[in-house]
Amino acid sequence: MSETSRQVFISMDLAQPVDRISHVPVQDAWGDLSVDGTTAEGGHPVRSLNGHPGGREQPEVPRDPPPSACALQPIGMVVDVSGSGGLIALDLHRLEECSADEDPTVAMSGQVSSQIKLRVGTDRDGGWLLGSVRNQRRDGKVEAGALAQVDFLGEGEEDPETGRITRFRRGVTRYPVPGALAYPATSADLRQIYASDGRNNVTVGTVFPTRDIRAGLYVDPLLGKHFALLGSTGTGKSTAAALILHRICDMAPEGHIVMIDPHGEYMAAFRESGQLFDVSNLQMPYWLMNFEEHCEVFLTSTGADRQIDADILAKCLLMARQKNRLAEQVGRITQDSPIPYLLSDLCIILQNEMGKLDKGHTSVPYMRVKSKIEEIRADPRYQFMFSGMLVGDTMADFLGQLFRLPAHGKPISIIDVSGVPSEITATVVAVLSRLVFDYAIWSRQEATRPILLVCEEAHRYVPSERNANGSSVGRILSRIAKEGRKYGVSLGLITQRPSDLAEGVLSQCGTIIAMRLNNDRDQQFVRAAMPEGARGFLDAIPALRNRECIICGEGVTIPIRVAFDDLDAARRPASADPSFSQLWTRSGGEAESVARTVQRWRAQSRF
């Protein structure tokens, strides 16, 4: 900033037109909180979660104190403007004054990742542009001056009556000119900006740095275009996922959500609102697998042998499926058709084919496939899927239960795959994910019933090319990410290693909820997937506290930093960190506990 502009800046008449941004009580349209951010029922919103009053009385409108004199004075001036952001000369003396302000939003003004507002338009036709500070550096030319890069987030008009920002929207149509003044954004401004625009939403936390502005997620765009929940271990991802899903379930008791839970954490959280499945009751029929999934389970060979084994399996599997009378009704079937067959039939067919003189191979591949099938049939760990009881045509029942059709007030299925033998976990997840997708495809003639598939530890199932193992689960989840939206299948990916996710999957996620990420590579990946305007927020990712996140994309109007609500202990996943210091001071019952563990271990059963 030149000395002249600095003088102009300092001696500027600050009375116009900001003084019209006077205090006006504003309805918090996400409106489920009292003023101090507490709720009536232990963290649960008082109002219905979809933003409608739900027949109850409106809560008292939150009142913001009138803006302090400090908030009405500029803190800087625009020196440079480009398409998506600008350079602002900040007055560090003013920032210091603001930092003592009672309003935490004003107190944060000008700091990295804070929001400031810029004057656009003329005095008569004035408006505000909201920007987020990406970085700050010392401006050597001016004493107590700093230059800050600002990303433009959106703009609003100034209500001539009240001075409030109205009709706030994402994107920029009117740019500020160099010399335009920058002001601190107040909590009242943010309340207007983050107010729901009336679309269905769920509120999940509080907007940083305010004490009481509710942060909401628009449910339709959040689910319609997939979402990803990212964060290093222990930052609170699982609890945040439970919180978001609880709020969605409360809003949509007749929803259809399938949650793949690799660590058995979520059962504790959804005892009331969820249908719980694990190896003891999943009863997933093996014949629902398509040919590719059969190969993953039944073939052990690699290289050229694998192709030979696969050809044999394809032929024999089709013959086994054709033996079912359902095959006659259906007409032409393939080895992928979900027609029940008996494992014993498949073994007999393999045996018969092996005995044929014109089989074209030695008996070895037949033996290999057959002995693997027999091994699996005899293994108690595989009973949840390969039990002889599962041969009946239970497909409609199974899908109905799994996809909550009807939901009967329990809109979420929790599928705990922690007891599934690790060598087939990926295939089980592939079958479940593919069933969701295939169901959506084959039910297109029916009334639309969108399904949300949530996948914890997603990097295990859709790994990047570096770690790719060509598994069917990676292919089906990538396909859902690319095409699911058209068929009403939504994907929610939760991972602590975004850099290990397959290329492109993250960019298919319309909404990104990023908690703290410690690793540099992970941060870069998230940065690449986040929209341009969110860059200022992104730099805060390594500095987030536990339970805090940056949300950007379709599910929110503009990027926000949110502190998640405290979730009731009864609704949290069973992922609490053990307290070594306490547990290591207690003793008693160790011998019995070890004996029981050995018993379960030997029986290969966790019950």
Give me the residues that bind Mg ion (CB under 5 A), please: 237-238
Least distance (Å) between residue 467 CB and Mg ion: 20
Which residues, at least 6 apart from 554, have a Cβ–Cβ distance to it below 8 Å?
218, 221, 222, 224, 225, 510, 511
Q: Which does 495 bind (CB under 5 to 8 A by kind): Mg ion, ligand ATP, none?
A: none
Other Cβ atoms within 10 Å of 409 Cβ, number: 11
Q: Which does 43 bind (CB under 5 to 8 A by kind): ligand ATP, Mg ion, none?
A: none
Which range touches ligand ATP (CB under 6 A), out of 144-152, 155-163, 325-333, 572-580?
Answer: 572-580
Q: Which does 235 bind (CB under 5 to 8 A by kind): Mg ion, ligand ATP, none?
A: ligand ATP
| Half-sphere CA count of 469, side-chain side, radius 13 A | 12
Q: Which does 496 bind (CB under 5 to 8 A by kind): ligand ATP, Mg ion, none?
A: ligand ATP
Least distance (Å) between residue 236 CB and ligand ATP: 3
The binder of ligand ATP chosen from 236, 411, 492, 498 (CB under 6 A): 236
> Given the complex with ligand ATP, which of 387 and 575 has the nearer CB atom?
575
Least distance (Å) between residue 250 CB and ligand ATP: 16
The binder of ligand ATP chosen from 115, 196, 210, 239 (CB under 6 A): 239
231 binds ligand ATP (CB under 6 A): yes
C-alpha 262/C-alpha 13 separation (Å) is 62
> Given the complex with Mg ion, which of 237 and 321 has the nearer CB atom?
237
Which residues, at least 6 apart from 2, have a Cβ–Cβ distance to it below 8 Å?
141
Closest of 368, 355, 351 to residue 308, by C-alpha: 368
Which residues, at least 6 apart from 119, have a Cβ–Cβ distance to it below 8 Å?
17, 18, 126, 128, 129, 176, 180, 181, 182, 183
Handedness of CA 232, 541, 45, 220 (dihedral sign): negative
Which 8-state DSSP code applies to residue 574?
A: S
Residue with tokens 């909201």: 130
Least distance (Å) between residue 579 CB and ligand ATP: 10
C-alpha 414/C-alpha 411 separation (Å) is 10
| Half-sphere CA count of 602, side-chain side, radius 13 A | 5
The binder of ligand ATP chosen from 206, 238, 324, 472 (CB under 6 A): 238
Residues 489-548 that bind ligand ATP (CB under 6 A): 496, 547
> Given the complex with ligand ATP, which of 234 and 388 has the nearer CB atom?
234
Which range touches ligand ATP (CB under 6 A), out of 71-79, 131-139, 212-220, 236-244?
Answer: 236-244
Least distance (Å) between residue 212 CB and ligand ATP: 17
> Given the complex with ligand ATP, which of 238 and 508 has the nearer CB atom?
238
Least distance (Å) between residue 227 CB and Mg ion: 16
DSSP letter string, 265-295? -TTTTTTTTEEEE-TTT----GGGS-HHHHH
414 contacts 274 by C-beta, under 8 angstroms? yes
Which 8-state DSSP code applies to residue 185?
A: P
Q: Which does 572 bind (CB under 5 to 8 A by kind): ligand ATP, Mg ion, none?
A: ligand ATP
Residue numbers at the binding site for ligand ATP (CB under 6 A): 231, 233-239, 243, 496, 547, 564, 566-567, 572, 575-577
